[in-house]
Amino acid sequence: MPPLRVLLIDDHALFRSGLALVLDGSLPGLQVLEAASIEDGFKAAPEPPALVLLDIQLEGLSGLEGLTLIKSRWPGVPVVMLSANHGPETVRLALGRGAAAFVSKAETADRIVAVVRQALYGVGEAIEPQPDETATPEDARLTPRQCEVLDLLCQGLSNKVIARRLELSEFTVRGHVQSVLRHLHVSSRSEAAFAARQRGLVG
């Protein structure tokens, strides 16, 4: 069975090499492709990888700007954002542009590995960014993609069917569903559908 290829894009060589060693040692059967920029990343992975680990603060084209290019080129590939800056605005920007997850570089190696494992295999505990306690209702609007997911969720479709309909990975859809549940302050899909209809978010 061919190894799962993870593309790690980070312009700090020491951090990149260290994380690659951690992933190699923690997740057997993984092949980590390293790159210092978005352009180098596309060269290192001519075929779509199973996952992209992307630093936000790259020299030249930033990770946030490059995220749009990556999602355009590989729409079904989950992208996990890495950053030393894990403020709520940075997290919102990353997830709003299509990142599947966000993890701070200040996290322990075990927690970063847990995020990667969840993204690749859908097992283990996903690490969700904490909501901003100071956010206002105006700040907490659903993204267009989350609205699409909510509409299909309200039609009773499963994550697998939603993923196929929107040409996304199931992991990405799960992330959007969790964000929708948090936004609506509910704990289940049926509660989300009821709350969305009460608020007029869906027809």
Give per-residue pLDDT as tens, 2-27: 778 999 999 988 889 999 999 988 88
Q: How many helices (H) and strands (E) does the chain have?
A: 9, 5
Least confident range from 61-65, 122-126, 179-183: namely 122-126
Domain 144-198 in the same topology as domain 4-121: no
Mean pLDDT comparison of 61-65, 68-72, 88-92, 134-138, highest-scoring range: 68-72
Least confident range from 4-8, 30-34, 82-86: namely 82-86
CATH number for the segment(s) 144-198: 1.10.10.10
Of the candidate CATH numbers 3.20.20.80, 3.40.50.920, 3.40.50.2300, 3.30.230.10, the domain formed by 4-121 belongs to: 3.40.50.2300
Mean pLDDT of the chain: 82
Greater confidence (186 vs 139) lies with 186
Reduced to 3 states, what is the DSSP secondary structure of residue 58? Answer: coil
Greater confidence (106 vs 48) lies with 48
Domain ranges of the chain: 4-121, 144-198
